[in-house]
Structure 1
Amino acid sequence: MCREVWSAIASPTLETPVLTRLAAALRSDTTAGFLLLGAAFTALVWANSPWSGSYHAIAQADLGLTVAKWASDGLLAIFFFVAGLELKRELVMGDLRDPRKATLPVAAAVGGMIVPAVLYTVINLVGGGDGLRGWAIPTATDIAFALAVLAVVGRSLPPGLRLFLLTLAVVDDLLAIAVIAIFYTSSLHVVALLLSLLPIAVFGFLTQRGVRAWWALLPLAAAAWALMHESGVHATVAGVLLAFTVPVREPAAAERFEHVWRPISSGVAVPVFAFFAAGVTVGGDFGAALLDPVTVGIVVGLVAGKTVGITGATWLVQRFTRAELPAGVSWLDLLGLSVLGGIGFTVSLLIGELAFGAAPEPKVGVLLGSLIAALGATALLRTRDRHHRNSQDARGAVD
């Protein structure tokens, strides 16, 4: 009896048929991508309408932090919590646990970060100015957007291609988190940082003991976030550390957390962040921003750097090791995926904000580069999808 009561307290449920269907829809890669795109498009339209003043007034409204700051520092911590859960599961039980399967996508992720950073740095060195601090902006691949495009245009593509992209994006997120924590921490308050580890440790202890009650875990998560924010380290890092304490080998532990929080991440946290991050006013200084070395470096880094970095690193590792492409995946398929990796929306916008504040150049560069990458990848992957579909039809006819 005591065990049953404890289970009810530790793992309560609050579900209705409507919420269940809504949450299921929000777990879809396609839905998440369209919500992200819709939020960014709405922000662009509003910020360039006669009512643009109201958009900026809402974004800068002071609630302890500005609303826009709450979106990037607060809500985005939920996104990093979900990404952290996925990353830990891949490291402990997934493809990242097997070096033979992980070698190529991990190399692709590293190459897809190094080459864009180098291209951006070269362009800003030649162009002068103080844009070098934004070197990490074009290094990130947006999981939600990239998987959404692949889900829409690649229905007949080999399943291994999606797994390759997912593994690449997970490693990319891990490296991006490290970059944010190391290179974009302006000042460090050691006492607050050490204190933040206490609620994280208690959170981990409770989850290891099977506690799932929101009233027990959310206050600890909020305390960890607040202390991390006070320490000077970007507060979203708290989301990753909290996720890493959740057990993944225990049946339905990490899966349950991800099941609950992914709809909130894809349906609320990421779209709201995109809404306040993407509101660039076209006109006035837009032309100057478009030609700024920061903008050019981001666009070149996302479009050319990601393509060359992902494809080149994969080819080099495959050439000099025994690693092989996933079954059914050709180099043309990988080229399309490499272009798709240039969609660097959520984390790129975040790094741009950390590096340059509210300056328009990072936003223009990320939006333009991601748009070009999305359109180019769509064209390439549609062609490959048609090829694979025709091949499947031909094999079916022969059978």
Structure 2
Amino acid sequence: MATQNAPGGTGKAGTTRNFKVWRGDESGGDLTDYQVQVNEGEVVLDVIHRLQATEAPDLACRWNCKAGKCGSCSMEINGMPRLGCMTRMSTFDENETVTITPLRTFPIIRDLVTDVSFNYEKARETPAFAPPEELKPGEYRMQQVDVERSQEFRKCIECFLCQNTCHVVRDHEENKESFSGPRYFIRAAELDMHPLDAKTDRKEYAQASQGLGYCNITKCCTEVCPEHIKITDNAIIPMKERVVDRRYDPVVWLGSKIFRRGKQNEAAQAQTPRDPDELGSVHSHAGASHEPEAEVGAERGVHWARQVPHPTAPPLDSRGRLAISEFTFDKAAAPSPFGDDVTFPLPAEGLNYSHPDQPRDKD
């Protein structure tokens, strides 16, 4: 039998390796020592299956696709959150004891299985995609550049390794109520970048209700992502910047004073609100439409039964740059098209997964 040239080389067929696997349930448990045969090219999940077939038939472990696409076999291997099916045994030294434990952030059910329902609760709280009312299913059109902006975030397999490694909830259980975690920050960023999403206050919702301010961008979530999504650089940091740019940026504040935007806003707000049906076409502030009547109508809120603000692209000059008015406008973002009488998080029965034109039950 040939010997290995280096600790990180391919494993030898039939080599017996040392493992420590956490066994127990919600009442407690401990690490148990095992010696398991490891063959060349195998992954940690293969070892767990062999262990179940030989020494520990009652060992509980989640798995499904064994191809790194379902996210079921999330666990901690030598203290690092990883997928069991994507962690090759050849990455460990031949004499190294491999320690396998469940995800630490979530409650233990049994052995390597944890209760990850926290993540699904946060998913239900996140407002769904809100398409413009005037578009029918099949009529959605997007530029390829807009598709590419958010396509990266659609690669998420919901393994929840990023949620597990985030120290905001990993080390502080009390933060779970007010913190959604990196998985749902990229969801908010994806919808905020979506040109057909009529809900224009995604960033404000992320700050106020998802706990975006808790994140101090240590990039630990990015490091453990098996899909190599740049969670911190491409989602969390841009969302943080969008939250603060118009509220706290001194340049924006100075620009608003120079261009007297504050007085124009006060004049618009002082006007008597009119019926939304009389306002004609209403545009979101994201499109830099500063018409007083449209602004009054938008601030009153628009429900699905009425007219929804049209998402429009920012006005660009011939060089593809934003107009100066976009940098000096002193409103953080447009109000929600859902209206002021809707509070978030929405209950499960209130989530709008269907198109508004589809039949609904009437009271």
* Fold match (TM-score > 0.5): no
Answer with 1 or 2: which has the greater Rg. 2
Higher relative CO (Cα under 8 Å, sequence separation at least 6) belongs to 1
Which structure carries more helix by proportion?
Answer: 1
Which structure carries more strand by proportion?
Answer: 2
TM-score by length of 1: 0.25
TM-score by length of 2: 0.27
